[in-house]
Amino acid sequence: MSMDVKSRKRWSLVILLVGLPLYLAAAWFITGLIYDHWGRMPLLLEFVIYVGLGIIWILPFRKIFSGIGKAE
């Protein structure tokens, strides 16, 4: 099932305004648990974790965000 550009734009807006803050709160909570349990991690490991979390959230939404900037 393929969505038209207008509905993909609407869904991308919902994902960015609602889904991304929820994901950020969940990631913040999980990394807080890690810090509480093991303390501060090495800088390189922290970098890898945050870059990984930054990439993981967008993977399920690749199809929705593709072509959003193009004209209808």
Residue from 52, 64, 50 nearest 8 by CA: 64
* Assigned token pair, 65: 């965000």
pLDDT tens for each residue of 13-67: 999 999 989 988 988 898 888 888 888 888 888 888 888 888 988 888 888 888 7
pLDDT tens for each residue of 2-12: 788 888 889 99
pTM of the model: 0.71
Q: Is 42 left (phi over 0), alpha (psi -120 to 50) or beta?
A: beta
Q: What is the H or E stretch that residue 14 is in?
A: helix 5-14
